[in-house]
Amino acid sequence: MTRSRSVLVIGGGTAGCALAVLLARAGIAVDLVERSPDGNAGRGSGITLQGNALRVLDAIGVWDRVRARGAASDGVTIVAPDGTPLVTQDDLRTGGDDLPAALGMRRPVLQGILTDAVLAAGARFRPGRILTHLAQDSRGAQVRFDDGTSGRYDLVVAADGVHSATRALIGIPETPRPTGMAVWRAPAPRPEGVDRTHLAFGGPAFIAGFCPTGPDTVYAYLVETARDRTAADPVSLVREMRDLAEGYGGHWKTITAALTDTSPVNYAWCTEHLVDGPWHRGRVVLVGDAAHSCPPTLAQGAAMSLEDSLVLAELLTEGSAWDDKLLDAYTERRLPRVRSVVEASVQIGRWQLDGVRDADVPGLMGRVMGALRERP
């Protein structure tokens, strides 16, 4: 592959950075632009990466750094709302037997590792830039940014998230819909003796969980019915999460005590969407949350985004012409797999919202996660 081919990646999150690394490492000229001035460096509390996500991070070449900075585990402990352990179970290693079932880490740490990899691969990273104009022809796209700079690229990749402005700009009508659920998230100190994710079902929320993100940290989350919190100030959000968390015992006592008025609490509605058709228009193609989103009931959001980037990079670097046939092949490889994850994640959320007690959640999860052991 020669450097005569060029790609603009819009969005410097997980999917965008992964794709930039893979393409730049193959000799393609890559510009990565991100609208936030800090390049997403300080955003988010924590993330759970399933084995199939770790498989992609290994392919990118950052697995050793991720493993050193995160907290790997092979299962979860289910507890009662009062903290009494009920069962500890091993999870399926969806990334293969040589990788753990899951790993938790702080989102800013993962972002830093990926940004470093982008720069090391030779891609140009431009934070604080917003696309203001895009015009396509049969050979590529001409773009302009809010700082007055412009450029021409053989391909533009929209990795700009669930509310992708690029998706709307190219006429793809799908938009995220609220599922009726919302999630509270906050980082906290790691309680002594916690070596894996703990989950409680029921109590004041649908789910109360925490996942180790390093030697001394966890991120805690509470899933409830969605409410409008847009007018709430940061201190009010902390106090609301703390009040909800006080309904749980065991290690939650340590976590709840650590939620002070200055804690970085996030409250977000869960959404669902899936572009059910070609993931491109001309020379602009979607990856990650721009193409799909789902509630975190399977913890597969980041994994699906990383897999998108891996598959698209494989197709773009195999020597074929960059045309509709290639981009259609990308959609055809990704859509069935992503659909199964989105539909299962949404179904589990609906069962929880509806209070269905005899739902076959373990069976559905087992079928979907088993299929994810196959390479994308």
What six digits make up the tokens of 183? 């999630």
pLDDT at 354 over 50: yes
For residue range 86-144, what is the model confidence (pLDDT) as tens digits?
999 888 999 999 999 999 999 999 999 999 999 999 999 999 999 999 999 989 999 99
Average pLDDT over residues 216-222: 96
Which helix (H) or strand (E) segment is 219 a member of? strand 217-225
For residue range 40-79, what is the model confidence (pLDDT) as tens digits?
665 678 999 999 999 999 999 999 999 999 999 998 999 9
Find where tokens 């058709």 sit: 277
The larger pLDDT score, comparing residue 55 to residue 359, is at 55
- Residue 45's pLDDT is 81
For residue range 275-334, what is the model confidence (pLDDT) as tens digits?
999 999 999 999 999 999 999 999 999 999 999 999 999 999 998 899 999 999 999 999
Q: Which residues pair with 137 in a beta bridge?
A: 140
In this structure, what is the dihedral angle of CA atoms 302, 308, 313, 315, given to the nearest 10 degrees?
160
Query: pTM of the entire structure?
Result: 0.95
Which helix (H) or strand (E) segment is 273 a member of? strand 266-274
How many Cβ atoms are within 10 Å of 127's Cβ, its own excluded? 16
Average pLDDT over residues 193-203: 94
pLDDT at 3 over 70: no
pLDDT at 2 over 50: no
- Domains in the chain (CATH in brackets) are 6-73+102-174+275-371 (3.50.50.60), 177-270 (3.30.9.30)
- Residue 158's pLDDT is 98
Vertex 186 angle, CA 235 and 221, to 5°: 120
State the pLDDT confidence band at 1, using cuts at 50, 70 and 90: very low
Rg (the chain; Cα; Å): 21
How many Cβ atoms are within 10 Å of 326's Cβ, its own excluded? 17
CA distance 317 to 25: 10
- Residue 38's pLDDT is 78
Q: Which residues pair with 127 in a beta bridge?
A: 34
C-alpha distances in angstroms, 319 versus 70, 154, 326? 36, 14, 10
Residue type, 167: R
State the pLDDT confidence band at 39, using cuts at 50, 70 and 90: low
Q: Are 70 and 214 in contact (CB under 8 A)?
A: yes
- Residue 138's pLDDT is 86
